[in-house]
Amino acid sequence: MKKFKTIFNQVKALEGAETPELISLLWQLIYYSPKMPVRLQQQQLLNEAKAFTLEVDDPHFAKANLKFNGFIWGEGNRRILVTHGWGSKAADFAELITALKNLPDTQIIGFDAPGNGSSEGELSNLILFAKAATAIIKTHGVPDVLIGHSLGAMANALAIKDTGIEPELLISITPLINLKENFIATLNSADVSREVQAKFFADFEQLFEMQASDFIMDKVYPAGLINRHWLAFDPEDKVAPVGFLKSFLNLHPEIETRIYENLGHERIIKDETLIADIINLIS
């Protein structure tokens, strides 16, 4: 988190001046995922897991294969894949994973996406999240249930679409819906001018060979491949504005939703009521 704050302050200090230094810093501002240390309870949970390591290619930032770390709890036949959000890690689902472990005949798989937690990578992005989820599916088998928080919810949708699997249940918790708007909000908060933002998005299109506006849930959503989709959100969430979510839900009225008030974007995954509801859904 300290590094991210340093990058943010450096960008603000340049006061929007279009310089090579500023353009370089903007890539770090948008794509550096803040890292928080593992707490004791989280480490104890990780110690109980069977650890594994897989690789994905990163042609955009590292321009190399990146190793990412995963964790398996249980040996049951019903497989649950848990995908964390931006600036997070598998261990941040400690409360939920602990509850899931009590379900019979269950195997839970979590992972630290490239550039997050304990995994390799300096910068990260949605594509790397989805590639990691896809690599797990191809290596460890098709999950019956996928659970994703924030960017992890969008990554799960993209992985389902890329692999063509048909999970029994998809659970999305405060999903990000429109990444370009999240990028713009971050750039605005750092006082980056519209002219410099336009330059950033032009460079983005050249690097990824697609527009930032393509990184929206509407375009990555695997309609027809999901038997049941349950979605949890806080209407006052500042990170994933409810306006974008409502527009998406209007396109997919089959998605079941539940509102959890006064939890925000991050604390919601630790909420006892939410966890109990997820356990009831799966069991």
Separation CA 230–CA 78 (nearest Å)? 18
- pLDDT value, residue 14: 85
| pLDDT of 16 | 66
Classify residue 144 by its DSSP letter: S
Q: Are residues 80 and 14 in the same domain?
A: no
Same domain, 142 and 201: no
Cβ–Cβ contacts within 10 Å for residue 157, how many?
26
Express each pLDDT in 3-60 by its tens digit: 899 999 999 888 767 778 898 899 999 999 999 999 999 999 999 999 999 999 999 9
- Is 187 exposed, middle or buried, given 0-12, 13-18 or 19+ CB atoms closer than 10 A? buried
* Cα–Cα distances in angstroms (integers) from residue 104 to residues 100, 131, 270, in the given order: 9, 29, 22
Residue 58 neighbours by CB distance under 10 Å: 22
Q: Are residues 45 and 90 in the same domain?
A: yes
Among the candidates 189, 215, 241, a domain finishes at: 215
Determine whether 109 is exposed, middle or buried from the number of CB atoms within 10 Å of its CB (0-12, 13-18, 19+).
buried
Q: Which residue has the tokens 């999950």?
A: 143
Nearest in space to 114 (alpha carbons), one of 96, 97, 98, 135: 135
Give SS3 for 254. coil
22 Cβ contact partners less than 8 Å away, ≥ 6 residues apart: 11, 14, 16, 192, 196
Q: What is the pLDDT of residue 257?
A: 98
Query: Could you tell me if 160 and 252 lie in one domain?
Result: yes
Q: Is the pLDDT of residue 251 over 90?
A: yes
Give the range of the structural domain holding residue 14, as residue numbers without chain letter: 1-32+179-215
Q: What is the mean pLDDT of the chain?
A: 96
Q: Are residues 228 and 115 in the same domain?
A: yes
258 shares a domain with 247: yes
Q: Are residues 56 and 132 in the same domain?
A: yes
**Domains contained in the chain, number:** 2
Asked whether residue 206 falls in the same domain as residue 150, the answer is no
The reply to whether 140 and 240 lie within a common domain is: yes
Question: 232 and 109 in one domain?
Answer: yes
Domain identity same for 193 and 173:
no
| DSSP result, 217-238 | HHHH--TTS-S-EEEEE-TT-S
In this predicted model, what pLDDT tens digit does every residue of 101-158 receive, in sequence order? 999 999 999 999 999 999 999 999 999 999 999 999 999 999 999 999 999 999 999 9
Query: pLDDT tens digit string along 135-149?
Result: 999 999 999 999 999
CATH number at residue 113: 3.40.50.1820
- Provide the 3-class DSSP secondary structure of residue 1: coil
Compute the average pLDDT of residues 70-97: 97
Are 45 and 72 found together in one domain? yes
